[in-house]
């Protein structure tokens, strides 16, 4: 199942539930970085539904600019980015910035150990499981 399908299913399921979710009690600033526009936009849509402030970047250069401007609490970062800088390299650069955010690797085929050594705190497989993401956000 693609990420967008998973997110749409989550949105459909949550629309009938009038109870607030635990992660909506506090809004976070979140940066989603993925060159797959459907994936990035779908994740952003879900996070906005959960009342978070979300920015999306589709490549590493744009992600650095948004990171420096936004100072997000959380970065969901795809490992396989185009343009000469992958998610591992971008994570190292983000860790060198004055502002520190929780970095989460989002990938379909990477090495978890390598992701953690590059500075990621967590590693999620695609397609993204919305409940895992919700659990992570509730801990921020």
106 inside domain: yes
What is the structure's pLDDT at 44?
A: 98
Whether the Cβ atoms of residue 80 and residue 126 lie closer than 8 Å to each other:
no
**Total tally of structural domains belonging to the chain:** 1
Instruction: Name the residue range of residue 132's domain.
Output: 26-138
pTM of the model: 0.85
What is the structure's pLDDT at 89?
A: 95
> What CATH number is given to the structural domain containing 80?
3.40.50.2300
Would you tell me how many other CB atoms lie within 10 Å of the CB of residue 8?
A: 15
13 inside domain: no
What is the structure's pLDDT at 41?
A: 97
CA angle centred on 48, ends 103 and 64, rounded to 5°: 40
Query: H helices within 50-125, ranges in order?
Result: 60-70, 87-96, 112-117
Give me the residues of the chain with pLDDT under 50, please: 1, 15-24
33 inside domain: yes
């Amino acid at each position: 199942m693609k990420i967008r399908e998973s997110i749409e299913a989550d949105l459909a399921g949550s629309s009938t539930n009038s109870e607030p979710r635990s992660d909506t009690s506090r809004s976070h600033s979140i940066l989603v970085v993925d060159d797959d526009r459907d994936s990035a936009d779908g994740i952003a849509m879900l996070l906005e539904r959960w009342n978070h402030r979300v920015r999306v970047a589709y490549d590493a250069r744009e992600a650095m600019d948004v990171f420096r401007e936004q100072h997000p609490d959380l970065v969901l970062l795809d490992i396989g980015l185009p343009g000469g800088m992958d998610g591992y390299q971008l994570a190292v650069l983000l860790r060198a910035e004055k502002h520190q955010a929780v970095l989460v690797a989002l990938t379909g085929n990477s090495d978890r150990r390598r992701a953690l050594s590059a500075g990621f705190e967590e590693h999620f497989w695609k397609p993204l499981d919305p409940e895992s993401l919700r659990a992570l956000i509730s801990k921020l």
